[in-house]
Amino acid sequence: MGQTLAEKIIAKAAGRGHVSPGEFVTCAVDLAMMHDSGGPRRVKPVLDRLGAKVWDPGKVVVISDHFVPAVDAMSAAILDLTRKWVAENNIQNFHDMQGICHVVLPERGHLSPGMFVVGGDSHSPTGGAFGCFMFGVGATDMAGVLVTGETWIKVPGTIRINIDGQLAPGVSSKDIMLHLCARIGMGGAGYQVVEFCGSAIEGLPMIERMTLCNMSAELGAQAGLIAADKTTAAYITAAGGNVGDYESWQGDRDANYLDTHLVEASSLAPHVAAPHSPANSAPVGEHSGVVIQQAYIGACTGAKLEDLHMAAAVLNGRKVASGIRLLLAPASTKTTAAAVVDGTMAILTEAGAILLPSGCGACAGYGAGILAEEEVCISSTARNFKGRMGAASSKVYLASPYTVAASAVAGHITDPREFLQKGVS
């Protein structure tokens, strides 16, 4: 019996020739990523009590993204602690206020196919878009990794999601994931691996693949994976990273998969998830007409460069409806710079989008853009749990940047395909 891609990566990290689902193995960690919220402020007290040092500062990446920029004394203190810890531990790979960790990590060339990576955040599976096995751990496990350079894992099985065809105009990877959240359910993946494949995947740019792997967390997967190809190699090379022998990191044809789900991309409509779960997802028409007060284009799931291009395709020549706030928080400073150069930022701001700093921001209930009691928001973020973006009585609908932008113009949830078909009105 052959091995899945996940099993191959875990076997390498465990120094084994072969592993099987259900086994417990100890793995050497190739890279550990932390951010300011769950990172130094959580692990420093543990390491201090142990009198322990970081096993290899060159294999640790720290990114400040949750409390940036500081909006109060507490936020400033957390960032100050983060910066001091990084300096004290000689962490060279520190990206301070450069954007969201899941976007900055690959942007700076830190990921390569075949790596075994841990991240201090639940959306760490984003790294799987680059052929890595990357999963999220809590602060206690991260402290163990920082001291030993190792972690244990129960070898997961792999669920294959085969996506064929071509996405229609106005439909994106976010719509695929919202469809899957409804179909498989929150937690439906049972902390196994979800591997995406098929002709539709082959045609997607890396940033769209990142959205798929990112939201595998919403399916309850431990990791999301996409086998590396020429598109992967081109992105990593441009980012200054090491491609390595990427063609060798593929699952075997006779590997055993727990289950296979088939998705026909061309038949998918734009989707919207109603409060308070991504699993409350349905085609946009089922939520059409819901009045909003705020539209939010942000987060690791919905504010990368291609995401901004989607919004601009709808907003070009149009204006945000009177009384509606369209907030824009690009996923990284590099995203902002690229959107300025190619004219995307001008389109968005001329339409009425309000530019916010790069960072997690309102997605996680931090900083600018949080919601008041009873307010309704449509957002490009990955989660819409009760109270996540502000007041407990607020309501958050999830959608793609296409749908968020169209809804901002209409003043209520609407199908973005109508705007793309009509052109500028």
Model confidence at 50, pLDDT cuts 50, 70, 90, reads very high
**Mean of per-residue pLDDT scores for the chain:** 96
User: What average pLDDT does the segment 322-342 reach?
Assistant: 98
Peptide bond just before 276 cis, omega within 30 deg: yes
Q: Domains of the chain, with CATH numbers?
A: 5-264 (3.30.499.10), 270-419 (3.30.499.10)
Would you mind telling me the total number of residues written for the chain in this entry? Answer: 425
Tens of pLDDT along 240-293?
999 999 999 999 999 999 999 999 999 999 999 999 999 999 999 999 999 999
Q: How far is CA 198 from the centre of its chain?
A: 21
pTM for the structure as a whole: 0.96
pLDDT higher than 50, residue 425: no
Tens of pLDDT along 393-415?
999 999 999 999 999 999 999 99
pLDDT higher than 90, residue 75: yes
Tens of pLDDT along 126-184?
999 999 999 999 999 999 999 999 999 999 999 999 999 999 999 999 999 999 999 99
